[in-house]
Each structure stands twice: as C-alpha cells, then as structure tokens.
Amino acid sequence: MRSGSNRYLANLLRYCRDERCKLSGKVIHGFAVRTGFSGDTYLCNRLLDLYCECGDGDYARNVFYEMPVKDVYSWNAFLTFSCKVGDLREACEVFDGMPERDVVSWNNMISVLVRKGLEEKALVVYERMVSQGFLPSRFTLASVLSACSKLLNGVNGMRCHGIAVKTGLDKNIFVGNALLSMYAKCGLMVDHGVRVFESLLEPNEVSFTAVINGLARENKVLEAVHMFRSMCEKGVQVDSVCLSNILSVSAQREECDSSNEIYRNVLGKQIHGLVLRLGFEGDLHLNNSLLEIYAKSKDMNGAEMIFAEMREVNVVSWNIMIAGFGQEYRSDKSIDYLNRMRESGFEPNEVTCISVLGACFSSGDGRRIFTSMPHTSVTAWNAFLSGYSKYEHYEEAVNHFRHMQFRNLKPDRTTLSVMLSSCARLRFLEGGKQIHGVAIRTNVSKNSHIVSGLIAVYSECEKMEISECIFDSCITELDIACWNSMIAGLTRNSLDTKALMLFRRMHQTGVLFPNETSYATMLGSCSRLCSLLHGRQFHGLVVKSGYVSDSFVETALTDMYCKCGEIDSAREFFDTVLIKNTVLWNEMIHGYAHNGRGDEAVGLYREMITSGEKPDEITFVSVLTACSHSGLVDTGFEILGSMQRDHGIEPKLDHYICIVDCLGRAGRLEDAETLAEATPYKSSSVLWEILLSSCRVHGNVSLARRVAEKLISLDPQNSAAYVLLSNTYSSVRQWDDAAALQGLMNKNRVHKTPDYSTILEDIALNQEREKNSTRIQYNLKEVAIPSKQ
C-alpha cells in the first residue's frame, strides 16, 4: 500500500513538474510530509525535479539538504540546478561532496566553469575526469572544445580530437561543429579543420559557417567564398547570420589591386540580391554588413541607398557611413553624417571619433576637427595620434603626445603602441626609452602590442641586446606579431643567420604558426645570405601553409631566387602567379637587370605594359638599369622618352643617371654630356660623377677636365672630382698631370674621403657570402627548418 502511494504521489509530482504547477506541487509536498512519505528518496527526487524545473532555489535546497538518503540522481539533479543558475560556489561544494560521480556530474562541472569564463579550471577538471577512467560524452567534448577555443589552445583541442576519434564521436555533428569552431578560432582550419568538415556525413549550416569563418581568419578568402557557394549548391539552409559572415569575409579582401575591388563589388551585389530574395532585408546586422561591403568597394552611392532604406539603424551603421566617406577623402560628407547621427539621438562612440578623424586626416582637416571637439578623451587623442602616424607625420605625433601629457591625460596601451611605432620610424631612442618607462609604471610592458613596439624601437636604434632582453623576458606570453618583430629586428641589423635560428625556435614550439609576414621576412634573410638551400626550404613551407598567393610572399620569393642567381627559377615562379601587382613586375625586371639579362628585362617590361599593368618610377629605374648594363642605348632612350609621353611619369634624377651611365658605358660620352646638361638635375654632382667615371674608362682626358671643372664648381670640397680625374690621368699615363692634381687638392685643402676599390669590395662581399654559406652548411642540422607533418 505504501509503495503504491509513493508511486501515485511521484506521478502527480512529475505531472506538476511537466506543467510547471509549483503551487499544486507544494500541496502534494505538504501531504507527503504529514503522511510520513517525505523521507522516501524516490519521492524526494521528484520533489527536487519539480522545484529545480520551476526555478525555486530555496525549496530545492531544503529538499536536497534534508533528504535522509541521497543517491547519484539526487546529487546530479541539484548539481545541475546549481550549474544552471550559475551559482559556482554552491556547485563546487556539491561536486566536492559527492560520494560518487558519473559522466553527468563531470559534464555539469566542466560546463559551468566554461560558462563562467574559467576555461583553464575546466580543462583541469576534464583532465581529472579522464584520469579517473571516465569516457567523455559528446557534451563533455563540446564543453572542453569550447574552452580550448576561448583559450586559443590548439594543442589541447587536438588531444580532444584524438579522443573523439577513438570513441567514435568525431562523426557526431555536435562534436564535429565544436571541433570546427575550435580549429577556426585557433587558426588551424586549413591544417586540420577542413579534414574534420570532410569527415562529417551531413554538415549543417553551423558546420559551413564555422569553416567559412576559419578560412577567413587564415586569409583564405577565396576558399571561404567557394565554401559558401558549395553550401548553397547542396541546399543547406542559409540564414541571416551566415550571409552576414560571408559579407564580412568578403570585406576582408585586401585592396592591393583593382581586380580585388571588382571581385568584392560583384560578390557584394550578388549576396545583396540573395538577401532580398530570402527576405532578410529587415535584419540590422546583415544590413550593416552590406553597408560595409559597399563602403570597402568604394561604392558610397550604393551604401547611401541601402542606408536610406534601412528600417532600423544603430551606431555601427552610422560609423560605417562616416568611415566609408572618409576613405574616399570626402570629409564634408563624413562630418554631415556625424551631425545627422547626433540629430537622430545617437551618441558617437570611440569608433565614430576614430572614423571622423581618419576622414579629416585624409583630407588635411584632422587638426581643425580635433581642436574643435569640446571634450577630447584618451580615445580621441589615440585617433588623432594614429592619424599622424598613419600618414607618416611622426614628428607631429611625438609633439602632440607631449601636449597630451601636459593636459594630465594618462595614455593607455593604444597610445603607447602608436607612439612606439612613431619613435621606431624616427629612430628616436630617447623617446622610446621614456615610453618604455611609462609602460613599466602602468603595468602594460608585457602587453604583446607594447612588446612588439619596444622591440621595433630598440632594433631600429641598433640596440639589439635590449630587444633580445625584452623578448626573452616575455617569451611565454608573446603572440606571432612579437616573434615577427624580433625576427625583423635581427634581419634589419644584418643578423640573418640568427633570424633563421629564431624562426626555427618559433616553428618548433608547435603553438605559434608563422604567417605571411614571417615568411616574407625570412625569405629576405635568405636573399641577403644568398642561401638558396634555405630559400627553397621556405618556399616549400610557404606552399604547405597556404601563403604562397600572398603578394608580399610572392615578391620575397621572386627576390630570393634573383639574389641567389636562380633567375630562371624566379621567372618560373613569377609565371605561376595569377594576379601580378606592380611590385612583383618590378622585382622580376630588377632581377633580370642585375643578372645581366637586359633583353629579357626589356621584354618583360613590354609584357607588363601589354598586360595592362601601370608601371611606376621604380619600374623605369629597373628597366633603364637593365639597358645600361646590357648596352641597349637606343632602347633606353626610347623607354625614357615614353615615360612622360605614354605613362605620365616625369623622369627623376635616378632615371637620368641610368641613361647617362648607359651612354657612358657605350662610349658615347659627348651625348652623355649633352644629356646631363639638358636635364633638370644638371646641378646634381652624382650625375657628373657618373660621367667622369666613364671618361676614366674610355680615357677621354679633355672631357674629363670639363666634367671635373663642373663638379668642382658645384662642390669645391668634393674629393670625387679630383680622385676620378687623377685616375683618368693615370689610365693614360699622364703622371705629371696626376701629381699636379694632387698638389691642387692639397692647396685647396680637399681631403680624400676614405674609400676602397669596388673590385676589393666585390671580393670582400664574395668572401663574406662564401663564409656565410659555409657556416650555414656546417650548421645545417641546427638551422634547417623542419617541415611539420
């Protein structure tokens, strides 16, 4: 009879729980107490379920703590409730007091720690769980992978992946999506995440979105777009969040050439059409993403049309419009939108301030707008100083930073980071030291942005021992930017072998992964060391890591092969590049020029023009140098004449130097003299020194005298005129004239600048290269970059 009553009361309580009838449940609770049934564990568990489901913490605690006998279900039910309401202290007490635990207990504890932002403690609890022989469930792995994502802990994430494979949970969509999210946030989508995605039997919209975001984080924008198209083709449901993400991905595409802008504009319009077709035009976040893509594509007319039709706008919407007009150098429109924003009742925030100042700096009105602001916060000052730094007005940035201090405004990490960048550019060591002191006093000296800036300052000022000390003291907390800054500092100070060693050290950590900046810097070191062996190793790593299509890496690879004398390998790589920018064309032409292959340099220059790429001043220096080294005088004149006529580029001193040198090498000295006199740079001593050097080569004494007189009239204390003329006399055995010239130097008190033969310079350079090459080969096991399997 008693057992039947218990079951009846339990069923009533279960019904009350399902219907959330707490009042009826309390009536049954009272009846159970009066009739002596309240000590039954099964009945108490139903009461506990009722109060937990209805969110009545006080009654739930009373039932739990007054239970005479608690089973595993009782402990787990109350632990689940404590975790659900976020009472971490009580959850820990319950968990620690449990006589026995099951997977549910561990899952609850791990989950609440992750939700409370205690990811590291969650991982510790997970390790305890595994060590005690419990197999994680899909819920366990999802929570742990979430913790790894937030900590950017790819190593532990990969361990969880291994356990998921062993337990067969890697095919579970819940775990699979958690793995994809983890790999995306840890920057491991290309290396590991894509394989997880391919192993999923039926990926859903969450899976596709995670992969798209992960590819975008690793700058694989085209791959991300292709993944989105695949998602549409497979009929997977596309929601507003996914569309917003793909728009954000497209907006990331760098504006390094016009084809990228066209690509982004077309893609943005296609997705805009999809938004309208699916009926998401009222989604605020999605509309903001559309505004951003139009602004990044420099289509502000389209952005204004979208903005005008938006049912709802927020501060982000206004900021995008203000920044968009700013990048188009239309400060009047930016200020107009700022005024309209205020009139609409929206308060400008930090981003607004930065956007307005950015717009005004680009049009030259930054200082006027800044001084007109009634209240200038630290954020406003940061935007103001950043504007000066961005447009390379570093001295003004330093001076205004002093004014900021006079106003008793305390700089934050952003301020110090901007100022360190300016000091590095100016090589202002004393300023860098002062900011270093401020960083120490304000406890931000370990911040990765500050560390990176400090390394850059001391490296630029040739204080590598201080840079290395800062780097070593923070090495466990540094991100890839700090490693890149340190590697760049070593290369800037000609410590290329040491830079190779540091790169290897970073590569072996397995935690940080080199990015395009890392590879471009190291390829530059290989160029200076003329180390083809290491250059080829880096080429392999670049291909494997997926950065081979980065424009900086492409240029660095081309330069490396050219500097190492592998001009055919450079051309072979150059031909594989699909989208070539002006810098890459220049690098390849320059490589031909300095490898004595002038005809091919000129041919490539003509190919560049045919392809529609616009040459710049550096292009013409490279191709004219090639003409000079290969004796292509007529071709050089033709190209020089086409600069202004066909390309609208006024020839500069460097271009005339190339042609004068070209004529001089060909023995057409009178033509070279005529050209030098006709140039706007005839007062430049360098131009006449080049011609005087050619006179020595061809033994033309009479012209050498005239050119020397011209040089001396330009700069009486320039020893080059005397030395080159003396060498000319010596080359034709006019020893008396050479001696008389030496006497004239003494009379005029002209002192010869210490110098040495270019032949000796070349010999010394070759010896140094051989020495470096031998040292690199000898230390191959120590320096060689291992490929990650």
**Ordered DSSP codes for 538-576:** HHHHHHHHT-TT-HHHHHHHHHHHHHTT-HHHHHHHHHH
Residues 72-93: tens digit of each pLDDT = 777 777 667 777 777 777 777 7
Which of 206-215, 437-446, 480-489 shows the lowest mean pLDDT across its residues? 206-215
Tokens of 498: 């040491």
In the three-class reduction of DSSP (H, G, I as helix; E, B as strand; rest coil), residue 692 is classed as helix
Taking residues 437-462, what's their average pLDDT? 91
Looking at residue 767, what is its pLDDT? 39
pLDDT tops 80 at residue 514: yes
pLDDT tops 50 at residue 773: no
- Identity of the highest mean pLDDT range in 332-346, 447-461, 765-779: 447-461
Tokens of 778: 């000898």
φ/ψ of 60, rounded to 5, equals -60, -45
Residue 456, class by beta-carbon neighbours within 10 Å (0-12 exposed, 13-18 middle, 19+ buried)? buried
DSSP secondary structure letter of residue 787: P
Residue with token string 């006093």? 441
Which of 69-73, 215-219, 407-411, 515-519 shows the lowest mean pLDDT across its residues? 69-73
> Pick from 596, 604, 663: which is nearest to 630 by CA?
596
> Pick from 105, 188, 113, 168: which is nearest to 143 by CA?
113
The average confidence (pLDDT) of the chain is: 79
pLDDT tops 90 at residue 100: no
Looking at residue 506, what is its pLDDT? 87
Looking at residue 789, what is its pLDDT? 37
Higher pLDDT, 783 or 406: 406
pLDDT tops 90 at residue 608: yes
Residue 744 pLDDT grade (very low, low, confident, very high; cuts 50, 70, 90) = low
DSSP secondary structure letter of residue 171: G
Taking residues 630-658, what's their average pLDDT? 90
In whole angstroms, what is the distance from residue 430 CA to residue 613 CA?
Answer: 44
Residue 779 pLDDT grade (very low, low, confident, very high; cuts 50, 70, 90) = very low
Which are the contacts of 614, defined by CB distance < 8 A and separation ≥ 6? 582, 647
Residue 409 pLDDT grade (very low, low, confident, very high; cuts 50, 70, 90) = confident
Higher pLDDT, 477 or 438: 438
In whole angstroms, what is the distance from residue 687 CA to residue 656 CA?
Answer: 8
Which are the contacts of 285, defined by CB distance < 8 A and separation ≥ 6? 240, 241, 244
Tokens of 287: 């509309």
Note the helical H segments in 169-255.
173-185, 194-199, 205-217, 221-233, 240-251
In whole angstroms, what is the distance from residue 480 CA to residue 473 CA?
Answer: 16
pLDDT tops 90 at residue 536: yes
State how far the alpha carbon of 745 is from the alpha carbons of 102, 487, 685, 750, in Å. 97, 47, 18, 5
pLDDT tops 50 at residue 627: yes
Residue with token string 């330009």? 714
In whole angstroms, what is the distance from residue 535 CA to residue 539 CA?
Answer: 6
Taking residues 567-585, what's their average pLDDT? 92
In whole angstroms, what is the distance from residue 579 CA to residue 582 CA?
Answer: 10
Residues 268-298: tens digit of each pLDDT = 777 777 777 777 777 788 888 888 888 877 7
Looking at residue 7, what is its pLDDT? 66
pLDDT tops 90 at residue 752: no
Secondary element (H or E) of residue 782: helix 780-783
Q: Which pTM was predicted? A: 0.61
Looking at residue 501, what is its pLDDT? 93
State how far the alpha carbon of 485 is from the alpha carbons of 457, 468, 482, 489, in Å. 10, 11, 5, 6
Looking at residue 403, what is its pLDDT? 83
In whole angstroms, what is the distance from residue 171 CA to residue 168 CA?
Answer: 7
In whole angstroms, what is the distance from residue 294 CA to residue 782 CA?
Answer: 50
List Cβ<8 Å contacts ≥24 apart for 504-508: 504/783, 504/784, 504/785, 504/786, 507/785, 507/786, 507/788, 508/786
Residue 655 pLDDT grade (very low, low, confident, very high; cuts 50, 70, 90) = very high
Looking at residue 520, what is its pLDDT? 93
Looking at residue 365, what is its pLDDT? 58
In whole angstroms, what is the distance from residue 284 CA to residue 313 CA?
Answer: 7
In the three-class reduction of DSSP (H, G, I as helix; E, B as strand; rest coil), residue 38 is classed as coil
> Pick from 376, 388, 367, 324: which is nearest to 348 by CA?
376
> Pick from 732, 415, 199, 630: which is nearest to 407 by CA?
415
Tokens of 306: 């979208």
In whole angstroms, what is the distance from residue 504 CA to residue 483 CA?
Answer: 11
Residue 447 pLDDT grade (very low, low, confident, very high; cuts 50, 70, 90) = confident
697 with 707: CB under 8 angstroms? no
Residue 740 pLDDT grade (very low, low, confident, very high; cuts 50, 70, 90) = low
In whole angstroms, what is the distance from residue 656 CA to residue 633 CA?
Answer: 13
pLDDT tops 80 at residue 532: yes
Residue 437, class by beta-carbon neighbours within 10 Å (0-12 exposed, 13-18 middle, 19+ buried)? exposed
Q: Nearest 5 degrees, angle CA 545-CA 548-CA 551?
A: 130
Work out the percent of the chain whose per-residue pLDDT is above 90: 22
Tokens of 168: 């067969």
pLDDT tops 90 at residue 587: yes
- Identity of the highest mean pLDDT range in 259-268, 355-364, 578-587: 578-587
In whole angstroms, what is the distance from residue 340 CA to residue 668 CA?
Answer: 68
Looking at residue 138, what is its pLDDT? 85
Residue 784 pLDDT grade (very low, low, confident, very high; cuts 50, 70, 90) = very low
Torsion angle defined by CA atoms of residues 637, 640, 645 and 651, in that order, rounded to the nearest 10 degrees: -150
592 with 567: CB under 8 angstroms? yes
Taking residues 47-59, what's their average pLDDT? 68
Residue with token string 């937030």? 150
Say which amino acid occupies 157.
G
Torsion angle defined by CA atoms of residues 528, 501, 217 and 302, in that order, rounded to the nearest 10 degrees: -20
Which of 105-119, 128-142, 552-566 shows the lowest mean pLDDT across its residues? 105-119
Residue 35 pLDDT grade (very low, low, confident, very high; cuts 50, 70, 90) = low
78 with 64: CB under 8 angstroms? yes
pLDDT tops 90 at residue 461: yes
Which of 116-125, 180-189, 352-361, 483-492 shows the lowest mean pLDDT across its residues? 352-361
Residues 483-503: tens digit of each pLDDT = 999 999 999 999 999 999 999
Looking at residue 34, what is its pLDDT? 65
**Helix (H) and strand (E) counts in the chain:** 46, 0
pLDDT tops 70 at residue 380: yes
Residue 765 pLDDT grade (very low, low, confident, very high; cuts 50, 70, 90) = very low
Higher pLDDT, 686 or 23: 686
In whole angstroms, what is the distance from residue 517 CA to residue 524 CA?
Answer: 11
Residue 269, class by beta-carbon neighbours within 10 Å (0-12 exposed, 13-18 middle, 19+ buried)? middle
137 with 129: CB under 8 angstroms? no
In whole angstroms, what is the distance from residue 427 CA to residue 439 CA?
Answer: 19
Looking at residue 484, what is its pLDDT? 92
Which are the contacts of 322, defined by CB distance < 8 A and separation ≥ 6? 334, 337, 338, 341, 352, 355, 356, 359
521 with 764: CB under 8 angstroms? no
Residue with token string 């039997």? 201
221 with 253: CB under 8 angstroms? yes
Taking residues 115-126, what's their average pLDDT? 81
pLDDT tops 90 at residue 58: no
pLDDT tops 50 at residue 781: no
Higher pLDDT, 587 or 691: 587
- For CA atoms 335, 341, 342, 344, the dihedral sign is positive
Tokens of 651: 């020839």
